[in-house]
Amino acid sequence: MNIFRLLGDLSHLLAIIILLLKIWNSRSCAGISGRSQFLFAIVFTARYLDLFFTFISLYNTVMKIVFLATSYGTLYLMYIKFKATYDSNHDTFRIEFLILPAIALALLINEEFTVIEILWTFSIYLESVAILPQLFMVSKTGEAESITSHYLFALGSYRALYILNWIYRWFLTEKLNAIAIVAGIVQTILYCDFFYLYLTKVLKGKKLQLPA
Amino acid sequence: QSFKVVHDEL
């Protein structure tokens, strides 16, 4: 464990908590893409199956349980409890165009052709594009609440911090996973235009307006 | 023995 990975995991946890609090306190999931949240739940489910038979550390196990519980909790809030506030008209990104290529790629490019490793690789590929429905929705609605942009900033920062963690581990000549690194770079690049808008607008108190 | 790939990151 190093400071970059710890900050990355905490940033990820912060993003999930910001989202849960936003939905719970405002009793609304307006502006939030349920499809992205659905993809995140798939990512965690496919990646954390080793929860039951590989013990890395207490931290690792606890965080996996927290991420699984909060992602399904978010789905519950969005699709059941506050279903009436879910903006399905703007949440229309075709997620099958993300899931199917991720499955195909995981079958073609992986470290080990076993079920658990293929699922892990699938979750890595899917996570790198899972935010697209949310970014698409923000561009379609043309704007996002500031709380949603804080959520996106924390979520985008998590994988950016993981890149620093991989650089740090590279200097320590630790074993790295090229698949996770390439996917992590792609994932972070997808946030770049949002990061620019967030740093130049939201932090100056303006609303986040994405060019439609 | 094929060394099992272990992913220690979240």
Task: Convert the pLDDT of each residue in A116-156 to its tens digit.
Answer: 999 999 999 999 999 999 999 999 998 899 999 999 999 99
Say how far apart CA A157 and CA A189 lie, in whole Å: 11
Which pLDDT tens digit goes with each residue over B1-10? 445 678 999 9
The alpha-carbon gap from A57 to the nearest alpha carbon of chain B, in Å, equals 9
Mean pLDDT, all residues of chain A? 96
Backbone angles phi, psi at A143, to 5 degrees: -155, 170
Mutation for B interface: A7, A16, A45, A60, most B CBs within 10 A: A60
- pLDDT category of residue A207 using cuts at 50, 70 and 90: confident
The alpha-carbon gap from B8 to the nearest alpha carbon of chain A, in Å, equals 6
Whether A7 has a pLDDT exceeding 90, the answer reads: yes
Taking CB atoms and an 8 Å limit, are A56 and B6 in contact across chains?
Answer: yes
Extract long-range pairs of A72-77: CB within 8 Å, 24+ residues apart. Answer: A72/A41, A73/A20, A74/A16, A74/A19, A74/A20, A74/A23, A74/A37, A74/A40, A74/A41, A75/A34, A75/A37, A75/A38, A75/A41, A77/A20, A77/A23, A77/A24, A77/A29
Q: Which of A63, A111, A177 is facing B10, going by the closest CB pair?
A: A63
Taking CB atoms and an 8 Å limit, are A5 and B8 in contact across chains?
Answer: no
Residue partners of A180: CB distance under 8 A and separation at least 6? A124, A166, B7, B9
Taking CB atoms and an 8 Å limit, are A12 and B5 in contact across chains?
Answer: no
- pLDDT category of residue A202 using cuts at 50, 70 and 90: confident
Q: Please state the rounded mean pLDDT for residues A145-169.
A: 97
Taking CB atoms and an 8 Å limit, are A9 and B7 in contact across chains?
Answer: no
DSSP B1-10: -PPPP-----
Window B:1-10, CB contacts with A under 8 Å: 2, 4-10
Which chain A residues have any C-beta within 8 angstroms of a chain B C-beta?
A: 5, 9, 12, 47, 50, 54, 56, 60, 63-64, 67, 111-112, 117, 120, 162, 165, 177, 180
- Percent residues over pLDDT 90 in chain A: 92
- pLDDT category of residue A108 using cuts at 50, 70 and 90: very high
- pLDDT category of residue A209 using cuts at 50, 70 and 90: confident
ipTM of this predicted structure: 0.88
pLDDT for the residue A208? 83
pLDDT for the residue A19? 98
pLDDT for the residue A22? 97
pLDDT for the residue B1? 41
Taking CB atoms and an 8 Å limit, are B10 and A60 in contact across chains?
Answer: yes
Nearest Cα to Cα of residue B9 among A154, A187, A163 = A163
Q: Please state the rounded mean pLDDT for residues A13-33.
A: 97
The alpha-carbon gap from B10 to the nearest alpha carbon of chain A, in Å, equals 7
Whether A58 has a pLDDT exceeding 90, the answer reads: yes
Amino acid type, A100? L
